[in-house]
Structure 1
Amino acid sequence: MTTRLIDDSLFEGADPPRLVGARCTGCGTVVFPRQEACPRCSDGTMATHPLPVSGRVWSWTVQAFPPKPPYRPPAGGHQPYLVGYVDLGEVLVEARLTASRPDIRIGLPVRLATVPAFQDEDGTEVLTFAFGPDAEGRR
């Protein structure tokens, strides 16, 4: 099966992919996804900044209802999933979480992964980013 990343601008590299944000050259603020202007100082230039591949769950919830478009439900319809904020040190990233419901907790060490988001009309599986449990607990 053919696969592609949901949005190349979110990633650096493809094997394995790594999230990429931006850092302000003026005040050092890090953002994800990338943006053109600093939300804190508006003075610096935003430079590409690769993000760590591991972090910790900062907060989480269950996405029990289908999100608004451009969300595309899977073939079998929407199934609830975990979503939350992952603390990557310099920035919090909102992401899908692949931990099981009984195992999820604030502070859980997690690592970047890709998961299927939907299939294109031509059958290409489109992958998005998520974070799953990091057994080694690396930061």
Structure 2
Amino acid sequence: MRVLGLDVGSKTIGVAISDEMGWTAQGIETIKINEERQQFGLDRLRQLIDEYGVDSIVIGYPKNMNGTIGPRGIASQVFADMLNEQFGLPTILWDERLTTMAAEKMLISADVSRKKRKKVIDKMAAVMILQGYLDSKN
């Protein structure tokens, strides 16, 4: 059971993968996308799905703090539907409130420079989203 975890933004997608047992999440990469031009990195996602033998996808679902769904949450729903249609894999929306902030704090506490944090923040957020999901299943 390999699960792909995604932190989807308007310019990048942070990507994480679970181990084969579904216990731990590991960051893989950050894929550049262009939401305005409808370029969503689907070719690269297909390569990763095939390479790792992924059987489901967890996508961060950014809800507002009061639980309502805003524009980014709707964009995540649309993206999840698109991935389900493209790849035929179950897609799970996972509440990601505060994951980017938590990832940022973790990187700051590890004394990672601002420039380096910018390069890995989305990948770290994907790890936190996926790990939260995996922990809820075990």
Q: TM-score normalized by structure 1? A: 0.22
Rg larger in structure: 1
Determine which structure has the larger strand proportion and give its number.
1
Determine which structure has the larger helix proportion and give its number.
2
RCO higher in structure (CA 8 A, sep ≥6)? 2
Q: TM-score normalized by structure 2? A: 0.22
